[in-house]
Amino acid sequence: MFRSITKSLLKTLKSVSYREINSSADDINQIVLLGRVNSIHLTENSDKAYVSIGLTTKNTYKTSSGYSSSYAYHNVYVFTSSLINKVRHLIKGDRLCITGYLTSYKGGDGQWRFCVTANTVSPYAIQSREHDGDDDGDDVIRIEEDDIDDEKVDYKMPPSYEVQVNSNNTYPEDIDKK
């Protein structure tokens, strides 16, 4: 029985076409996160500025007894000045969509840290149109915060994920996490 399964599997594998990857240009490092701001820290000095954002995302999955949720905490760094201006007024609990890439750096304690470097940052809101009764095209557009989740969530990150910037306002590779 085992031999027939193995032969069948080998025949299948031989018939599958594979794409040969010739260069590192085919690698993909792309992240899209939609979550709530947990913490935000703006660091500015004479030659560098960046924002570190603690972002909380929720994953809902089906279990035998219904549905359950788990939360993940992400460290996101924003280095582009135009993006910094977009996020500098965000507060804890705001919804945010970020696209970027995964990066890593060695902390002051020698441990590797992983974070997301943002390419785009978009505050997330629901836009609805209220018809004012006539057909002149001047309907009222109302933008509201997304209220899809009615449950209350404590967005405090575990201590190991707290984003801490030292008093020297240095870049993430120089940050010591306690």
Question: 0.85 cut: is pTM over it?
Answer: no
Count other Cβ atoms within 10 Å, centred on residue 165: 17
Q: Which residue has the tokens 């306690």?
A: 178
User: How far, in Å, CA of 178 to CA of 174, rounded?
Assistant: 13
pLDDT, one tens digit per residue, over 85-103 is 888 889 999 999 999 999 9
Q: Is the pLDDT of residue 176 over 70?
A: no
Question: For residue 41, which of 57, 54, 27, 52 has the smallest C-alpha distance?
Answer: 52
Q: Which CATH number fits domain 26-174: 2.40.50.140, 2.30.110.10, 3.40.50.670, 3.90.78.10?
A: 2.40.50.140
Question: Which range (25-34, 43-52, 109-118, 154-163) has the least confidence?
Answer: 154-163
Residue spans of the domains in the chain: they are 26-174
Write the pLDDT tens digit of every residue in 103-118. 998 989 999 999 999 9
